[in-house]
Amino acid sequence: MTGRSYWIWHYGDYELFHNMKLHMRREEYGMNVPAFFKIDRPHLNIKFKKSFRTDFDGYMTVYLNGIGRINLDGHFYAPEARINVPSGEHTVEVSVANESGFPSIFVESDVCPSDKTWLSSHISGHFCPVGGDEAFDSADCRVEKFPFEYEERSPITTEEFCDGVLFDFGEELLARLLIDNADKNAELCVIYGESREEAFDRDEAIILESVSGRASYCLKARAFRYVCVIGANSDISALAEHEYLPLEQRGSFECSNELYNKIVDASVRTFHLNCREAFLDGIKRDRWVWSGDAYQSARINEYLFADDAIVRRTAVGLIGRAPFEAHLNGIVDYSFYFIIGLWEYYMAYGDRDFLERMYPRALEVIRFSEGRVNADGFITECEGDWVFVDWADMDRNGAVCAEQFLFAESYRVMADVAALVGQNGEEFRYKYDALRERIDRFYWREHLGAYIDSYESGKESVTRHANIFAVMYGFVSPDRAQIINENVFENDAVPKITTPYFKGYELDVYGKLGRLDKIERELDTYWGGMITLGAGTVWEEFDPSMNGIEHYAMYGGKFMKSLCHAWGAGPIYLFGRYYLGVYPTSPGYESFNVEPCLGGLDSMSGTVYAAGAFVKISFDKKHLAVSAERDGGTLIFRGERYPIKKNSPVILELKGMS
Rounded to a whole number of angstroms, the distance between the first and last alpha carbons of the chain is: 62
157/128 same-domain check: no
The residues, ordered by sequence, that sit 6+ positions from 451 with a Cβ below 8 Å of its Cβ are: 401, 439, 443, 444, 445, 462, 466, 467, 470, 484
356/423 same-domain check: yes
Q: Are 94 and 71 contacting, i.e. CB atoms less than 8 angstroms apart?
A: yes
Q: Is residue 272 part of a domain?
A: no
Q: How many CB atoms lie within 10 A of CB 143?
A: 24
- Classify burial at 136, counting beta carbons within 10 Å of its beta carbon; exposed 0-12, middle 13-18, buried 19 or more: buried
Alpha-carbon distance of 124 to 114, in angstroms, equals 22
Q: For residue 2, what pLDDT is reported? A: 66
The residues, ordered by sequence, that sit 6+ positions from 448 with a Cβ below 8 Å of its Cβ are: 460, 462, 487
Q: What is the mean pLDDT of residues 186-190?
A: 96
Q: Is residue 569 part of a domain?
A: no
Q: Are 270 and 565 contacting, i.e. CB atoms less than 8 angstroms apart?
A: yes
111/181 same-domain check: no
DSSP annotation of 591 reads S
222/172 same-domain check: yes
Partner residues linked to 617 by β-bridges = 606, 626
Q: Is residue 29 part of a domain?
A: yes
- Number of domains the chain contains: 4
Q: Is residue 617 part of a domain?
A: yes
**Side-chain-side CA neighbours of residue 196 (13 Å):** 11
Rg (CA), the chain: 27
* C-alpha dihedral, 214 to 219 to 225 to 227, nearest 10°: -30
Q: For residue 123, what pLDDT is reported? A: 79
Q: How many CB atoms lie within 10 A of CB 245?
A: 17
The residues, ordered by sequence, that sit 6+ positions from 115 with a Cβ below 8 Å of its Cβ are: 3, 4, 5, 6, 8, 132
Q: Is residue 609 part of a domain?
A: yes
Give the residue from 496, 520, 552 where a domain finishes: 496
Confidence of residue 657 (pLDDT cuts 50, 70, 90): low
15/55 same-domain check: yes
Q: For residue 461, what pLDDT is reported? A: 97
Q: Note the pLDDT tens digit of each residue in 16-60.
A: 999 999 999 999 999 999 999 999 999 999 999 999 999 999 999
Give the residue from 244, 273, 295 where a domain finishes: 244
Give the residue from 436, 471, 496 where a domain finishes: 496
184/87 same-domain check: no
Q: Is residue 231 part of a domain?
A: yes
Q: Note the pLDDT tens digit of each residue in 189-211.
A: 999 999 999 999 999 999 999 99
Q: Is residue 79 part of a domain?
A: yes
58/128 same-domain check: yes
61/206 same-domain check: no
Query: Quick one: CA dihedral 487, 491, 493, 496, positive or negative?
Result: positive
DSSP annotation of 331 reads B
CATH code of 626's domain: 2.60.420.10
55/109 same-domain check: yes
Interhelix angle for 308-319 vs 332-349, to 10°?
Answer: 150
Alpha-carbon distance of 108 to 98, in angstroms, equals 20
CATH code of 466's domain: 1.50.10.10
Tell me: pLDDT of 658 over 60: no
Read off the amino acid at residue 335.
Answer: S
Task: Please tell me whether the peptide bond between 649 and the residue prior to it is cis, using omega within 30 degrees of 0.
Answer: no
Read off the amino acid at residue 537.
Answer: T
161/54 same-domain check: no
Q: Are 465 and 400 contacting, i.e. CB atoms less than 8 angstroms apart?
A: no
Q: Note the pLDDT tens digit of each residue in 473-497.
A: 999 999 999 999 999 999 999 999 9
169/124 same-domain check: no
Q: What is the mean pLDDT of residues 88-109?
A: 97
168/25 same-domain check: no
CATH code of 102's domain: 2.60.120.260
3-state secondary structure of 265: helix
* Nearest one of 107, 101, 4, 91 to 46, comparing CA atoms: 101
Q: For residue 656, what pLDDT is reported? A: 62
Confidence of residue 125 (pLDDT cuts 50, 70, 90): confident
Confidence of residue 390 (pLDDT cuts 50, 70, 90): very high
Q: Note the pLDDT tens digit of each residue in 162-185.
A: 899 999 999 999 999 999 999 999
Which residues constitute the domain of residue 438? Answer: 332-387+393-496
Phi, psi values for residue 210, rounded to 5°: -105, 135
Alpha-carbon distance of 397 to 575, in angstroms, equals 37
Q: What DSSP string describes 507-565?
A: HHHHHHTT-HHHHHHHIIIIIHHHHHTT-SS--S---TT--GGGGG-BTTBTT-S-SSB
